[in-house]
Amino acid sequence: MSVYAVTNPATGVVEATYPTATDADIQVALGHTGDAFGPWSTTAPGKRAALLARVADLYEERRDELAAIITREMGKPIFQSGKEIAITAAIYRYYAANGEKFLSDEELDVATGGTALIRKEGVGVLLGIMPWNFPYYQVARFAAPNLMNGNTILLKHAPQCPESALAMEKIFIDAGAPEGAYVNIFATNDQVAEIIADARVQGVSLTGSERAGSAVAAIAGANLKKVVLELGGSDPFLVLADADTKRAAKQAMFGRFGNTGQACNAAKRIIVDASIYDQFVGDFTGAVAGIKMGDPSVPDTFLGPLSSAAARDGLDAQVQDAIDKGATVLAAGGPVDGPGSFYAPTVLADVTEEMRAYTEELFGPVAVLYKVEGEEAAIELANSSAYGLSASIQTQDMDKAHEIARKLEVGMVSINQTSASAPELPFGGVKRSGVGRELGKYGMEEFVNRKLVTFRG
């Protein structure tokens, strides 16, 4: 039986299965992407941009169809699915509008005379290994800038997202992409290792777990291939003594429970100054109590099921470990009886270092609150994690916010807002949250050959 299947997490029913690629299929895909690289890399940037603009159009035209697919595949509430389509289209349109400018030659000063240029060119076939939690958006972050660079794409999606994977491939075909520019593969992990080792493949981009990133980086390193890794996060949400607690609580609720808490940059550790802790707890648990959980296909549902029964059970084991070791439950949730992998919103406090919830990423609708005495204690706790993706600071003092932002060991800081994403803003972390950046002009610079050209006369 294929591992690529649509198992509706709202019902637990397997709705469709798809065959895993054979080794021969993988060789054909490598051949097509390898053959396409030369013509595509020498295609005028304006024509590459035109393809991306047409891809953006098709995402917008097919919004309802595409949104319904991921709601069924991974349980995303339908309103949030629609918003994912919107930002996905915006990413393709951003690189269509700006990619040619980002690829322009850069002139260098030459002390000994003459002229020198840096010319940015594609490097070859790239393998993208993508997660299930944002099926379209994550692919766009990788595919859009790299197609604009002139690279060609092999896309290996999560096994529970076969229909969205095929829908994306069809969009590229219908947009007029040349054969081999973007190829979907339903590959196994063993096949992925062989693909990375193949001489035609020049780089790998993975968004996923720390374990998967370590495994892919090891194979890529052994074969001298560059990687971009966007991995886990345990992002701190700092609420300082002067913060507006009602506003901060509302932002923390959306930042933690959006996408059913299944986001790498969710507000997973909410660190609150002791002077306003009790007020914040009341505001936050009140906001959490107002969350509507239910059928993800209903437009006003905010919290859907977790992506799978295994994800639900794994999260519950982490929560139970914390409770068994003395954590306080401020809002009781947990697994919901009945079909599907629903998990009611849960809020924990008094989480200590011996608990799994202190060091592990909680990928689901569970928030952890910490009470601290002062800003330095908040910074110390925020930096105590092995992860370093993003952080949020809630305060009315902008000078203080910028000072704290400089001290936080993360790749992104948001002040008086939740961690978010936009096509023009670079996305990525430090420490065990990964390496490299996606989106913005920096997303164009990861997989390019910065070719030096010097000349006189």
Task: Quote the crossing angle between the two packed helices 245-257 and 277-289, to the nearest 10°.
Answer: 50
Please give the pLDDT value at position 361: 96
* Alpha-carbon span 273 to 277, nearest angstrom: 6
Average pLDDT over residues 341-351: 98
- DSSP letter at 291? -
The DSSP code sequence of 109-128 is: --TTSSEEEEEEEE-SEEEE
Q: Are strands 346-349 and 366-372 parallel, antiparallel or unpaired?
A: parallel
Question: CA separation (Å) from 410 to 39, 234, 413, 419?
Answer: 40, 10, 7, 12
* Alpha-carbon span 20 to 187, nearest angstrom: 6
439-457: per-residue pLDDT in tens? 999 999 999 999 999 998 6
- DSSP letter at 261? G
* Alpha-carbon span 55 to 245, nearest angstrom: 42
Output the pTM of the full model: 0.97
33-85: per-residue pLDDT in tens? 999 999 999 999 999 999 999 999 999 999 999 999 999 999 999 999 999 99
2 pLDDT tier (thresholds 50, 70, 90): low
78-116: per-residue pLDDT in tens? 999 999 999 999 999 999 999 999 999 999 999 988 999
Average pLDDT over residues 204-218: 96
Q: Are strands 106-108 and 115-122 parallel, antiparallel or unpaired?
A: antiparallel
Return the percentage of the chain with pLDDT > 70, whole number.
99
* Alpha-carbon span 313 to 125, nearest angstrom: 38
The residues near 69 (Cβ < 8 Å, ≥ 6 apart) are 135, 163, 164, 167
Q: Is 264 a catalytic residue?
A: yes
Place of tokens 């692919």: 139
* Domain 4-231+433-455 indexed as CATH 3.30.70.20: no
Question: CA separation (Å) from 423 to 102, 378, 383, 453?
Answer: 14, 30, 27, 31
* Alpha-carbon span 436 to 414, nearest angstrom: 19
288-305: per-residue pLDDT in tens? 999 999 999 999 999 999
* 3 state DSSP class of 147: helix
Please give the pLDDT value at position 104: 97
* pLDDT of 257 over the 80 cut: yes
Domain ranges of the chain: 4-231+433-455, 235-422
* Alpha-carbon span 100 to 185, nearest angstrom: 29
219-252: per-residue pLDDT in tens? 999 999 999 999 999 999 999 999 999 999 999 9
152 pLDDT tier (thresholds 50, 70, 90): very high
Return the percentage of the chain with pLDDT > 90, whole number.
98
* Alpha-carbon span 180 to 30, nearest angstrom: 9
Q: Dig out the tokens for 275 from the structure.
A: 């002077």
Place of tokens 């081999």: 180
* 3 state DSSP class of 450: strand
Among 230, 375, 438, 446, the one annotated catalytic: 230
* Alpha-carbon span 185 to 282, nearest angstrom: 49
Contact 335, 365 (CB under 8 A): no
What is the topology classification, in CATH, of domain 235-422?
A: Aldehyde Dehydrogenase; Chain A, domain 2 (3.40.309)
Please give the pLDDT value at position 155: 98
For the stretch 433-437, contacts whose Cβ atoms lie closer than 8 Å and that sit 24 or more positions apart, written own/partner, are: 433/230, 433/231, 433/232, 433/233, 433/264, 433/387, 433/388, 433/389, 434/213, 434/228, 434/229, 434/230, 434/231, 434/389, 435/227, 435/228, 435/229, 436/205, 436/227, 436/228, 436/229, 436/230, 437/228, 437/411
Among 73, 163, 264, 438, the one annotated catalytic: 264
* pLDDT of 1 over the 70 cut: no
Instruction: Residue 226: name the closest of 136, 141, 151, 139 by CA.
Output: 151
Q: Are strands 390-394 and 412-415 parallel, antiparallel or unpaired?
A: parallel
